[in-house]
Structure 1
Amino acid sequence: MKNLLCIAFILTLLTFGCSNEDGNLSLKTTDTNSAFKFEAKYPESKTAGLEKYVDSILKKELPLGRNIDLFVNLNGNDKFNLKAKMGWLEINFDKKNTSLDSYMEVKKLASDIGKKLAEK
């Protein structure tokens, strides 16, 4: 029961929306026993800055402003699905047969993306 309350609390904290000058920001995180999903809807004007930020973290050039749907390799074995277009990004990570380190890396990436998008 305590774990369930903790998970509910974390999901509540991670799922929020706020407004800024350019439009709306909506961040949604779903974390279950088998999968982790992060979705961000943000002003299109923030796409270029987010692209630079994600490229620097992942050490890869990802064209977030285009319609992309690809797998990003984390450590040679584990990977996550990244979908993006102007003003929208989604990360899907299958927890089955993957390492805890990779899960934590993807979770931190999602959190950092949310923080970056919330900057004014």
Structure 2
Amino acid sequence: MKIIIYLISVFFAMFGSGCQRNENNLSIKTTDTDTIYKFSASFGESKIAQLQAYLNTALNSKVSFDHEGNQNIKLNDKDEFTLKSTAGLISINFDKKINSPAGYTKLKTLAAGIQNKLREDK
């Protein structure tokens, strides 16, 4: 009987720690070519509020992680990018052919800020 209780305890301990480790998974991918800049990240859902607050401040716009489709976000009067954000996932697409070099620089700064926020401890 003690062995069964011990095995059940070990099982729950392993299961519980596995769930916690999964929350800390972070994957970031960047593609930068002559014509496009793409940034994507998957992250633990505990980072959503922190990331959303950063984006709202950096973009001076309200960004939603509850939105199902793409959001076109303006960087300034002439530059914009496409943002897709859901719980635990963010994706940015920037077309260099139709946007300015200044907009590209601003977007790269934004992406670096996103990476920093996702890597921060709470």
Q: Which residue of 1 aligns with 2:91?
A: 90
Q: More helix per residue: 1 or 2?
A: 2
Question: Shift of the alpha carbon at 1:21?
Answer: 7.3
SS at match of 2:98: coil
Between the aligned partners of 1:23 and 1:41, the Cα distance in structure 2 is: 10
Which ranges of structure 1 fall in alignment gaps of 5 or more residues?
Answer: 1-19
Between the aligned partners of 1:97 and 1:66, the Cα distance in structure 2 is: 25
Please state if 1:102 is matched with 2:98: no
Between the aligned partners of 2:66 and 2:26, the Cα distance in structure 1 is: 16
SS at match of 2:25: strand
Q: Root-mean-square deviation (CA), in Å?
A: 1.4
SS at match of 2:56: helix
- Return the letter of the residue paired with 1:111: A
CA contact (8 A) 2:23 2:46 kept: yes
- Return the letter of the residue paired with 1:47: I
Between the aligned partners of 2:90 and 2:46, the Cα distance in structure 1 is: 14
Between the aligned partners of 2:117 and 2:76, the Cα distance in structure 1 is: 24
Q: Residues 60-80 of structure 1, C-alpha deviation per residue, up to 9 Å, x if partnerless?
A: 111124434111011111100
- Return the letter of the residue paired with 2:45: E
Q: Which residue of 1 aligns with 2:115?
A: 114
TM-score, normalised by the number of residues in structure 1: 0.79
- Return the letter of the residue paired with 2:29: K
Between the aligned partners of 2:51 and 2:69, the Cα distance in structure 1 is: 15
Which stretches of structure 1, 4 residues or more, deviate above 3 A after TM superposition?
none
Question: Shift of the alpha carbon at 1:54?
Answer: 0.5
- Return the letter of the residue paired with 2:113: D
Q: More strand per residue: 1 or 2?
A: 1
Q: Which residue of 1 aligns with 2:31?
A: 30
Aligned residues between the structures = 101
SS at match of 2:65: coil
TM-score, normalised by the number of residues in structure 2: 0.77
